[in-house]
Chains A and B, each alone.
Chain A
């Protein structure tokens, strides 16, 4: 099919081919091809037609289309396989057949192949059917191909022999000319009416505002050029009829190939119609003249330009659009090359070249068409106007491309051949052409029928394409697709060529290219207002064409690039369309539209449970707080399951589903993905990030580089997603560029779809987003310990305070690697509150020590069989940890943490396993109160206590060397509890020396070993409150008492404690810190600090002397009594300590009973004061005697006691260990009881140290 908007299209005879007798499709196309090759028939080849008898009555000259009339002429058949206007539902175009007869389909050819059973009747039936269906045609013939016979089937059958197609076409031409003669004759006797008056449909051509102004302007031009002819109305009407007939006849001549006759007829028509002011038909006639000139030029025949043109072509508008005032682009006739063809021009006055003449004619025709718009009857139909413009525009474009009206251009115009491109020679400028083309849009193009509009757009697009105005072409195509989508015109796709189905898709993608959509360049990110509607349109087009691949491409583009401009509904709709398309395609063939889906991959630390241990030799002796910790590094273990956290994004407003396939590493062998079931599916909520946990197994030690994942998203193709890092800022190059980025001519569909594949934006140098690789270290296989069994029921133990509880834990080395490094750590949950308490800065040092003691010395859980555990635990070996839980107040949970490793050389990695045991601790025996009471005299009672003291006296000690410790114990438990309390023998205390720590350690050992484990039997037998002495098998000097405390009762116990003698140096030691804390700020006063310090040391000593255990009466529960509640006051300290200067008073001449001395009044006796210095240095001081009356304290003692000398006198220096005796004569005058006190005062530095006598002395005077 030839170009319907070619300039010479009105000279072509429309021919329709119809397949008959079940002709196969491909064969039909083959036949059509054969016929098309010979569509141009020279008249010289056509056999002459016998002249028709002329009727004398006819006023006009007889019409004769005898080919002999102009043998040079040609008849050109426009072979079409689809029916034209008549059948395409465009009935309204039929009314144009009178005005432009060439629109009619004149010839209908039925094609069929010869078959043996083909009879004349069958052929006749086919022919009848042809005539019925295509009654509008004037020639109906049947072409029989491959027929062995050449006659016998009827008059209307043409037999096509091998190679005889040309002959057949000549025959067709002959039949056509004959038929045309009679057809034309019919026109001779009718009055031709304009199409406007024949159609009742509104096809008026109105102008929009601006063009109306232009029209007025143009009308004024024309009016000045019009001839001042005065003709009457009737004369004008007659001329109109005559002129119109000339014009139609001209058209017929042109169809019949008799171009000179046609030119003459058109010339006559123009002259007549000019007189008649019939603008519409005049315009048409002018165009006819132009076509004839082109055809004659093509044939190389001379022609004479009708003289009327001299009148009409005056004041032809310049070669520039009517709206552009600039006159710069007028092609000057001197520049334009003269036509190379021989051409005789009688038209000298204008001096125009053929193209310019054609242009002028066309412009003039359009001017007249415009003028006709004011006529209510003879106005120009919009379609005619548009097509006229398109024809001249096509002509100009061809001339522009070819450089001049060269033979190649003429061939293109007439035969549709290719034009040889020549450089721009300025015959027409692009601007001229575009301005003229834009006239198309002036009229109400929108009001035209959709099919016609589409055709116009197609023609315009092809012109712009020829002119390389690709943006313009894109715009027109966009309008075309929009029109098409809006009107729902079904696009007839010739399925004969598989490529045709792709054609609209191809066009759409070329359109996308023009608008740089889906490009790599940053320009493609910008123009959302332009790109988005275009993509929506493309998407809709693909949907209506059911092109799933197109739907996916454009939908993906929309979603990936213009998300910001889309609301929820739009996004969901596009997503739905894509999903549908994927479903239609059956196999996933598209990539997911968000290549940056994978945002991060993290290695979860706890998954590996490894900690780095430094090589021991690298330890610096100095602590460097600025040294960086290397603990941040996460390490995976070969062949061990590791967990990854994969972060994916979903920027869309719909949910996406994701099926993970595998995690990718640089070395594919180094990583194995563990998918718990065949495929791992996950839904990511709209507009969110989502973390997915996934297990992997590293298969090689060394460095693991994780690059991304392979996944299937939303049913798309299995695809690799790299980890997206930061976005790169892309800059447009600051360069001047010209023209669209690429011309569609060079564009290849495949490369375009390459660009649609967004992923390749990442591999190129100017990638949008940097890819990230997650690097982790993988170490060689490490051992794994597994917990096999714990002997604690349910992992929960109930303990009384101080109770000990043994249990075992069974471990197994479940890996293939031996363990040669094992460390044990026990912790309980009291650590945190204690540590917190230590943080308080207001605590005095002794309290801090107490907390530290609980924190460090008193552990809640202990390993008992540390020595039994082997150095190396082989693969698969089992071992048991024997553990002891100790009931500690406030403990809720205790755990044992084992750190183990396979230590090679240097640094190694440890793993830890924790065995937590939940504990409930209830109070058992509580210390309710304590006090110290001094004793001086043995009461010689029969109780254990006094017996014990008596024993001591027998050993040469004084009773006053001891004091009594009073302890109140409360049984807070619900059952009776046996207790046992004891003290350490004095001998051990003395031998322990001043090193309290040693004693303590020793005691610890004892209390844990001996007392509890060796003596349960002894405890059990002792009932009631009874003390035991060393003689009962206890170590020498040890006092032990046992009792049973009923539930919720408090009992008081008295223990003898030997007074403690500490040297000054010992007491001046600062309170130690168990945590090795270097400096403690002491805010207390000096005196207070001294007391705290002394009290600390004495208390520490007492605690080391005491031991107590308890045992529940009815069960096996047993434990230690918590004695650390003992607190010493100043008074208690004074009672406890042994004076450094020993003062002993005795009376001579007196009888002593206990602490009382009996004297006789007015008798003389001597008070002897013995001072022994136990200090390390000599002492010098004042000795004071303080006698006082007990019976009558108010009275001065001076009247009652006489003494010889002074009551106070200074002593000389007493050396260490030296004993000095002072004597003083005394006489008691009055009867009564007196107390005689003695104080030795020493001024040591600025401190006054006082020593009192060891035992008080009471004097009874009788």
Chain B
């Protein structure tokens, strides 16, 4: 199982990207996307932004569930109150786990926002954030 996570800022700018795989079922946590798909991943997520902007006004929850798909890959989305979008490209439906995953990532993101050295919409380059996201990925996905 492979995943591609992207956090998109308010101007379609990526602030964090991560490609990872599941640790379940004997996988080693590395993504198994084929090269073609790997190159398409950011495009797929970018295209899903259109759907998010359509859907986000129709619900009062932050988690938008699977909102788009492409060639059997699903895209789940989460919109923070600051309109930063978390997008996850995944292969199977796993709503609850992804909900928890997104909620915890939002917690991490809020902590990053609290840093006086971080400006909104800047790329997150903190290695500890990276480690924590990977831990969450291991925990839930």
Contact = CB atoms under 8 A, between A and B. Distances in A.
Interface in A708-754: 731-741
A737 B14 contact: no
Interface in B74-117: 74, 82-83, 91-93
B50 A208 contact: no
B127 interface: no
B43 to A, nearest CB: 5
**SS class, residues of chain B in contact with chain A:** mixed
B10 A737 contact: yes
Nearest to A526: B13
B141 to A, nearest CB: 17
Interface residues of A, number: 48
Interface string A662-687: 00000000000000000000000000
B65 A326 contact: yes
Size bracket, chain B contacts? 35 or more
A652 interface: no
B11 A738 contact: no
Contacts of B70: 438, 441
Interface in A364-421: none
A522 B13 contact: yes
Contacts of B119: 731-732, 734
Contacts of B122: 731-732
A438 B39 contact: no
B120 A527 contact: no
B126 to A, nearest CB: 16
A740 B66 CA distance: 21
Contacts of B55: 431
A522 B71 CA distance: 32
Contacts of A731: 119, 121-122
Interface stretch (A465-473, A804-812, A886-894, A900-908): A465-473
A328 B11 contact: no
A737 B11 CA distance: 7
Nearest to A732: B121
Output the residue of B17, B41, B55, B69 with the most chain A CB within 10 A: B69
A516 B71 CA distance: 25
Given A328-B59, A438-B68, A736-B82, A471 B10 contact: no
B28 interface: no
A208 B71 contact: yes
A429 B58 CA distance: 11
B133 to A, nearest CB: 17
A133 B80 CA distance: 63
B82 A732 contact: no
Interface string A518-544: 000111001101100110000000000
A209 B51 contact: no
B69 A529 contact: no
Interface in A206-232: 208-211
Interface string A469-482: 11110111010000
A423 to B, nearest CB: 15
Contacts of A741: 11-12
A738 to B, nearest CB: 6
A325 B66 CA distance: 9
Contacts of B62: none
B49 interface: yes
B44 A324 contact: no
Contacts of B83: 736-738
B80 to A, nearest CB: 10
B13 A732 contact: yes
A475 B17 contact: no
B11 A323 contact: no
A592 B70 CA distance: 39
A246 interface: no
A329 interface: yes
A438 B69 contact: yes
Contacts of B51: 430-431, 434, 469, 472
B44 A533 contact: no
B10 A516 contact: no
A515 interface: yes
Nearest to A468: B50
Contacts of A1236: none
A1134 B61 CA distance: 114
Nearest to B44: A475
B29 interface: no
B60 to A, nearest CB: 11
Contacts of A946: none
A736 B47 contact: no
Nearest to B51: A434
B98 to A, nearest CB: 14
Contact of B46 (A475, A521, A735): A475
B10 A735 contact: yes
A326 B54 CA distance: 14
B11 A521 contact: yes
B57 to A, nearest CB: 9
Contacts of B9: 523, 732
Contacts of A1165: none
Given A438-B70, A521-B11, A469 B65 contact: no
B39 A533 contact: yes
A209 B46 contact: no
Contacts of A323: 66, 69, 74
Interface of A: 208-211, 323-326, 328-329, 429-431, 434, 438, 441-442, 464, 469-472, 474-476, 478, 515-516, 521-523, 526-527, 529-530, 533-534, 731-741
26 contacts: A324-B67, A430-B51, A430-B54, A434-B68, A441-B69, A441-B71, A469-B54, A471-B46, A515-B12, A516-B12, A522-B13, A523-B11, A526-B14, A526-B15, A527-B13, A529-B17, A529-B41, A529-B42, A530-B46, A732-B121, A735-B10, A737-B10, A738-B53, A739-B53, A740-B49, A741-B11
